[in-house]
Amino acid sequence: MWRLLCLAIVFHLAVAVFGEDVVVTTKLGDIKGLSGKVRFRGKTHVLKKFLGVPFAQPPLKEMRFKPPRAPAPWKPDLYNATYYRHTCMQEKLDRDEMQKQIPGFKNFSEDCLYLNIFTTYDFTDSSSLPHPVMVFIHGGSYVAGSAQTILGDVLPLKGVVLVVIQYRLGAFGFLSTGDHHAPGNTGLLDQTMALKWVKDNIGHFGGDTDRVTIFGQSAGASSIGLHLVSSKSKGLFHQVIMQSGVDLSPWAIHGVHSALHTSKELGRMVGCPTHLNVLLVECLRKVDAQEIADFISDSHQGSDPLDLPWSPVVQGEGEESFLVDDPKVLRENGRFHRDVRVMAGFTSDEGAAIIQSIADQFNMAELLREEKISQTALGSLLHHYFPIKNGILAGEVYNTIARGYQNTSDGVETGVYRQGMVDILTDYMFAAPAHQVLRHHSQHNETFMYVFGYRSPNIRTNFWMGTTHNDDLPFVFGLPFHTTKMRHNCSTLDSALYSKFCRGKRTQIFSDYVCTHRNWSFCNEYDHRMGHSNIDYAIIPQQYEKFDHEDRIISDYVMELWTNFAKFGHPTPPKTANATYSQHSEIVEWHLFLNLTPRRKTRTIFI
């Protein structure tokens, strides 16, 4: 799958002081973190950071491929949470890229089940009310990612406690033999263990255990969707935000037989017996961790980039099972957490990043250069993702799909264009699954849908790719609120993140509500008096030369929506926002379009 590897570089600013110790007492023992003053929008905040807090025992040796165990207390010792711990083992390509960008970086280990906490709660004021909690789960195709790449210094300034977790990746988190020897989904169980830790301990950090929102992007978002249909996660959260992924996404889970094949392929590559699962797993537990991680990269070669080698699997009914059936079946049977409020969305041009990945595979290299593509190339792609054995029926179906995405001018068909392909892939991989999930959930609780369509004028990427996969993350975490130009290290591995931008003369927030056959747009003036912030460190993606005033407007608005949802269960509660965000329902499918300019057109999404 497409992926972006962003490296967290630490930049200490003269105006931000982080170095004062702060100690919090928990059930496991005392934890020492860092405290410092941060300026944000003209106001001084005292931000506390607790880095590398263990939420499980190290999954080493015989614990490899097994569910996590609760952490052991460290009383009477003082736990030092003033620095990051290890990043989870991941594929060689990602590891090499990080080491190339940061010479000598070797902070990878199986001992990686840690979380980071960021809070502005005033521990000295006994009358302070607890803050809602937001737990972030990173993406990365289930094989890459790190809590260290997530900037945690801005979002908490909106009055929430931010927790960023890690979980085992690749074979370490998702190897499955389809039986009790390696049932799979240990990466998801890591996430569950982290959520249990939050429920038991976050109150000591000023968090409200009755207002826990989990949010994530890409594979992190699909993981959240799977938590919604797993009994293992019941009662651990109250609201969710899924960004660019849900449990019904076509790439969210792996077939059991395919997972077993990949596990045996790994065994053969490292010299383990594969005729008996018990021997295979016992042998793999003794193999060097780096050798296993290196295989992950090899398994990608020549395969469909959307067919992830290591993913969650359906385990069947059982007391220890995380996922007992296909998510679609579970939802149709009402077996999901209906008491949870849901917000889900995607970027307007997710499919552009996919085109970057599959252009060579489907002989569509012209897509990267030309606007128009051939019917042959289109048919090849549609047949791959929507296989129909009956040739005559297939032709009719594919032509119908193609017509639905044709560009037209004055009623005259002008052919299938690159943007049509972007839209097809966006709908298939992200939009349609999100609609399906929200349809199921809206019958039981409040649901909200958004489309992130903002394209920064400062992005240095191809115009045609629109607002694509990952483009929302800098704005969710407040990256534009940095006052100094910082060095950046970010490398696109499978795709670049490129987009178009239509810039209006006035600075406005437009809300584009869409329902069947109708379209309403309205704008609301936004307060331009925005301050900057002085933040301790930042992740500045390579595609951004800088961030400007418009970027800060969008970022502030997005952070407001996200934190409002965490606080009130609604992105725009009464008297708190300049736009009303209507609920998405089975009858009227509203969504909020996030941009500085209104959406000019809408399209039918095939579900």
Task: Identify which of 458, 429, 434, 450 has the alpha carbon closest to the alpha carbon of residue 591.
Answer: 450
Q: What residues contact 405, with CB distance under 8 A and at least 6 apart?
A: 416, 420, 421, 423, 424, 603
Cα–Cα distance measured from residue 211 to residue 131, given in angstroms and rounded to the nearest whole number: 8
Do the strands 207-217 and 131-137 form a parallel or antiparallel pair, or are they unpaired? parallel
Do the strands 114-119 and 161-165 form a parallel or antiparallel pair, or are they unpaired? antiparallel
Q: Which residue out of 441, 469, 482, 591 is catalytically annotated?
A: 469
What would the two tokens of residue 249 be? 């996404």
Residues comprising the chain, all counted: 607
> What residue spans of 205-324 are helical by DSSP H?
219-228, 256-270, 277-284, 289-298
Cα–Cα distance measured from residue 335 to residue 470, given in angstroms and rounded to the nearest whole number: 30
What would the two tokens of residue 152 be? 């945690």
Helix (H, G, I), strand (E, B) or coil at 464: helix
Q: Considering Cα of 83, then 86, then 91, then 93, what sign does the dihedral take?
A: positive
Cα–Cα distance measured from residue 450 to residue 425, given in angstroms and rounded to the nearest whole number: 18
Task: Identify which of 56, 65, 57, 59 has the alpha carbon closest to the alpha carbon of residue 285.
Answer: 65
- Cis ω on the peptide bond leading into residue 59 (within 30° of 0)? no
Cα–Cα distance measured from residue 164 to residue 512, given in angstroms and rounded to the nearest whole number: 31
Helix (H, G, I), strand (E, B) or coil at 71: coil
Are 309 and 260 spatial neighbours (Cβ–Cβ below 8 Å)? no
Give strand ranges (E) for 138-283: 161-165, 207-217, 239-243
Concerning whether 589 is annotated as a catalytic residue, the answer is no
Concerning whether 350 is annotated as a catalytic residue, the answer is yes
Q: Which residue out of 218, 297, 311, 357 is catalytically annotated?
A: 218
Distances (CA, A) of 408 to 179, 403, 411: 53, 10, 6
Q: Considering Cα of 282, then 287, then 290, then 294, what sign does the dihedral take?
A: negative
Are 233 and 192 spatial neighbours (Cβ–Cβ below 8 Å)? yes
**Burial readout 33-64 (b: 16 or more C-beta within 10 A, e: otherwise):** bbbbebbbeeeebbbbbbbbbbbbebbeeebb
Which residue has 């370490």 as its token pair?
Answer: 172
> What residue spans of 74-185 are helical by DSSP H?
92-101, 170-174
The amino acid at 410: D
What would the two tokens of residue 326 be? 């296909």
Q: Which residue out of 350, 499, 550, 555 is catalytically annotated?
A: 350
Task: Identify which of 100, 565, 49, 541 has the alpha carbon closest to the alpha carbon of residue 592.
Answer: 565
What would the two tokens of residue 32 be? 């020492």
Concerning whether 311 is annotated as a catalytic residue, the answer is no
Number of H helices, E strands in the chain: 15, 20
Cα–Cα distance measured from residue 459 to residue 288, given in angstroms and rounded to the nearest whole number: 41
Which residues are part of the catalytic machinery?
218, 350, 469
